[in-house]
Structure 1
Amino acid sequence: MNPISLDKALASFDAVWSPRIVTHVNDYDVRVAKVVGDYIWHVHEDTDEFFLVLDGELRIGLREASGERTVVLGRGEVFTVPRGTFHKPSSADGASILLFEPTGTLTVGDQHDEIPDHVDATTGHAL
């Protein structure tokens, strides 16, 4: 049980859209990821998804009952995608993010678009 440097954790890998698990809180993973370009539209039917932008800018497209909208997050900003909401993260210039998700949650959700080569469908990788 030692402090974890998020800067060092992020510096330990180069892969994008491939989160690393830095610690656990109860039954949740705390994951960090580097992102650039577009992810895929996907939904987590049974869990919310928490995003914190550590660096850069993250855009999250949302498909809601009232239509589509995009949330733009800058460094230090947080947003929670409610369970059952289709969403698509993206970052034109790249970003570093921190996520909270229940342990074992698949990054591409329960339903998703076709998974391109640049997207890692995973439950998170150890640092």
Structure 2
Amino acid sequence: MKIIRSKSFTAERAWGALDIANMNGITTRLHWTDQPYKWHVNDGQEVFVVLDGRVQMRYREGGIEQQTLLEVGDIFYASIGTEHVAHPLGAARVLVIETEGSV
């Protein structure tokens, strides 16, 4: 059993993570960041939940770059093959659920 107070979590570097669970190869991790990630495509599906802060999510559909602003409580689902990059606007805490070892 664990209780995690996400608002108090910080990391030593951008996108540092606290491993919460690994359920049959699906990981749940809490990330802290104040810097953009990198454009990437995950090995599987990804669920990205903003717990604190704001994140501008950029993604490509049909080769065309799109973007949306994610606020606290918003969820971004990246299906297999979705190229995307997260740009926090200040510090953010994000819950990420994805296949173990994914980018």
1:93 paired to 2:90: yes
CA deviation map 1:51-99 (0-9, x unaligned): 0111000111001116111021111111101111111111121210000
Structure 1 moving runs of 4+ over 4 Å: none
State the superposition RMSD in angstroms: 1.9
Q: What's the secondary structure of 2:90's corresponding residue?
A: strand
Q: TM-score, normalised by structure 2?
A: 0.86
Aligned residue number for residue 2 of structure 2:
3
- Quote the residue 1:84 is aligned against: 81
Give the deviation of 1:10 after TM superposition: 1.7
Q: How many residues align?
A: 103
TM-score by length of 1: 0.71
Structure 2: runs of 5 or more not aligned: none
> C-alpha distance in 2, partners of 1:8/1:95?
9
Q: CA offset at residue 9 of structure 1? A: 7.2
Unaligned runs of 5+ in 1: 108-127
Cα displacement (A) at 1:20: 2.4
Rounded to whole Å, the distance in 2 between the matches of 1:8 and 1:69 is 29
| Aligned twin of 1:115 | none
